[in-house]
Structure formats: structure tokens, C-alpha cells
Structure 1
């Protein structure tokens, strides 16, 4: 499929492809994303492998009832392609706007509702990050922004993980938002989504990606991942959390690495910088994020517990 191609969905809707939005240059156009029109409405078409397409069809049906999860609006089976409703943007770019705190809280709560809907079905997203939180909004003449819809998107790496199972042996997710157990390719369950979402919350409030590392910040021979791991321990590595993480990882070789990182703090005037001391965060928000980002997966809030936290109390 290429620009100016026409396609017909299962719904009977006819799509006119306008242009390519993203191309991963994979064989047969896999992963390619198109902007298309149908009846003057914009849609996003995405081509997948036949295997991934077949996997996602029932998963979408399982969470279709939630308005906070982005599922396909239509399908083009012959092309192994899904059609999605077009959104104006995502949280990664939206933070450039100067909006009241109430707007940011609404976006975060709606995104958390989407995560809760996935977890209710025993689905772990595995790749929670700001550009997977889609936002539609209306901007009035006076500059006021009204949030129309927020959805957790990009379920392609999601997996059904029942309570007695784990994802093991994969560094799931993006390295700037990834949980400590996911970095270690350890046992991953719903708490890994919660850790990632906690980092997203910090980003949304501070407009700073705390695990982004520039080349200028690196010492000679130092890798970015090493800095990320040190920051995780420094910000969130209290004794209870680190003990729980090491127990969770069991005989994983990363146990030694995290132990060395923890031991290095306190030496050579390298104090830790725990989130409790971050003066730029209000107490309720700080408490919420701390409880979502424990290094111990077993100590993190569930999605439903986080939704009930006082920081979200004033969000409808």
C-alpha cells in the first residue's frame, strides 16, 4: 500500500490514503503507519504481521467497552491492517502547552483509567510512556483547552498475563520509562505498568524526563543505561524497596549490579536524592508517585488504588 491507495474496511468504510506518517522500513511495509480519509474524517492505518493482527483482534474486543483504551475502529483483513480514529496528539508533545494543573490531572487520571481497564482483563501493556497516551482536545478562541478524550494506545506489545504468570526474559518497554525488573529481564507483571506510569506522571507535572541521559552527561566509557539505573536507585531505592526488588529478582545476575549501585551511594560524597526531598512536588503528588515507583514491584499501588489516591480526588 502506498500514498493515494484506496482500501475498504470490514465496516464498508472506504479509506483514501493521503500519506505515510511513519515507516520502519521493514519487509512488506510492516509497521508502516498511514494517514487516511473517509467521509472527511481522519484515520490512522497501521500494517502489522498476520500473526500480530490475529493476536490483537480478540484483545481489542476484550477492552472495547473502555473509552480510555485505544482500539481499532475498523480492520482491513487482506492487508493485516487496523484503522484507528485520528487523535490530535499525545502527552509527550502536549506538555509544551501551558495548561492548568486541573487539565494535566484529568489527562493522567483518564490514562490511569485505561491502564486499570487493561489490568482488569489481566492485560499488561508493557510500554507505558507519554507518546502512548493519546489526547484529543478543543482549543477555544480565548485559548482555553477542553480535553475531549484520552486513551492509552499502542497495544501491540501488550500481553495477557494472569495473576499466577509473568513475562520473563525480556526487557519490555522503552529504556527511559522502564521498571527496574524490566531492565533486568526479570518477572514482569502489572506493577511494571504502574512504575512506568509513575515516571510519566513526574514528566507531566515537571515537564522533565528524569531518565533521559544526554551524551554530555556521560563520563568516558559510561553507558546511558548505567546512569538510568543509578538514578532509579537514587530516587526510589529505599531499604524496603531495594530488599523487595532483590528478592523479586532471585538469582537474576542483575541482583549483583543493583547491589553494587546501592553500595556506591554514601561513598565519595554521593548522597542519594530520594523523591521525598523533591521540593518542587506537592506532598499529595509526591506520595502518589512514591507509592507507584517503589523498586519492589510488590509494594506498588495497583491501578485502582492509584485512582483512589487523594491527589485525584478533585478530578471527575
Structure 2
């Protein structure tokens, strides 16, 4: 399995030169072990003639992709019952796509989109990293992302009573705006986006916002529209969304109020295309 890691120094807070007084800011590092896009290889029919369980499961997955419509609950398929050879065929046919997700907490969940948009591999791990459960999920985004991201998040974002740190100039109005929009947000409402790249934010402003919003449990890396890093905060419905160019320089830094940023989700037309592509693959084995 390949891995992809953006350099820590390219991200939001910490991208500016050090302060003249030598002070340094601490900010959350990028997660390690994110998987990247890899084209699958299609084995010849005679090679996999005996692997009926994998083929039967993928036929069911193809049907679920064909039936899926935006807003539908995810369709879930357990992989734990497959033996090594059948599981290897599933791995080989589905490959690794453009979106990787890590959910941390008392345990960890690692999610990898397949080369078929809208079809996700979801692995549940214990604290030591041992696999507890292995599944496939048909959805625009796996259900756990919507269910768990903000389950323990705070609802109000308020300025501290203490004086603001030196250099914090333009963050307070954004705090009020984020508090208002996050309280008003409901799933299905148009996202509210604050483009920090276009605002006169100091390094201290960004660090202050980072500390106030808190670090959430979900990190998403997407390569669908260039390199994009998406991280949840501890404030309900508030995400950092950051885009990088081919040199991994941060070119767009935003805060987005939504349940899940659209850039992380599979588009309906892409899921339709995935259903057709999987149908064509499985026709080879019929």
C-alpha cells in the first residue's frame, strides 16, 4: 500500500516565518499513513474462477451502487467472512482512490475510497492498531463521518474573558460569525465558507482561531481537485479546508460550516459512473 503525506510546514498556521522574538507556534501535524490513488489490475477470468464469494459480493455492491441516490443511507458489506484469496480479489479490483480519511479517538477508523467513487473501504482498529472489522460502504461519504465527527463537539464558540493575545487583530469578528453560522446550520443547508486567504489575518490570528476551535477527530485528504486537507474542529459543523498546489504550497485556506465539505464527498454523477464501471468489470467474469 502506498502512502501520502503533506509536509507539515505547508499548512495554515506555521506557514509564516518565525517571529522576530524567536517565539514558535505549535500546530497539529499531518496524520501519517494516508493511502493514495492506485489503478487496479483486472485478473483473467480463469485465474479467479474459484473465487465465487468475492464475485458474488461485488455483484451485490454493483447493485447497491446502481440503486444509490443522494441522501440515501449507506449500504454496508462485511468483508470479515472472506478468505484470503477472495479478499485479495476484492482488493485487486477496487484499488485505492483519491480520498483517505482517519477518525481518531478511543479507537481508530481508517477509510479509503476505492477507484470507484462512492465505494469506500472502512477498517475499524483497536488502540494497538489490530483490525476489528473490515467493511465496504456505498455512500457519498461513509456514515460514520456524518454520525461521529461532531457528536461531542461544543455548540457555542465564544471569545475568552481574558485579554486577547498580542497580535490577535482580526479573529474576533470571525469568531462571532462562526458562532452564528454553526448554531444556525442544519444538514442540507448551503455551506458557509470563510476564505482566510483573502482576509488580513496575522499569524497570531490563525493560531488563536486554531486554539479556540480545537482539534477534531477527523482528518480527510483528497486529491480529486488538487491536494486538499480537511480537518474537523471541536466546534460543531466547523471544518478547516486547505488546498495545495503541485509544489505542496498552501494556496487556499478556508473555514467551512457544514456537516461534511463537498470536496470530500462523491458526486452523484460519479457514483452512477462507478456503478457502470463495476458492471463492466464483473461482466468479464460472467
Q: TM-score of the superposition, structure 1-length normalised? A: 0.22
Q: Which has the higher helix share?
A: 1
Q: Which has the higher strand share?
A: 2
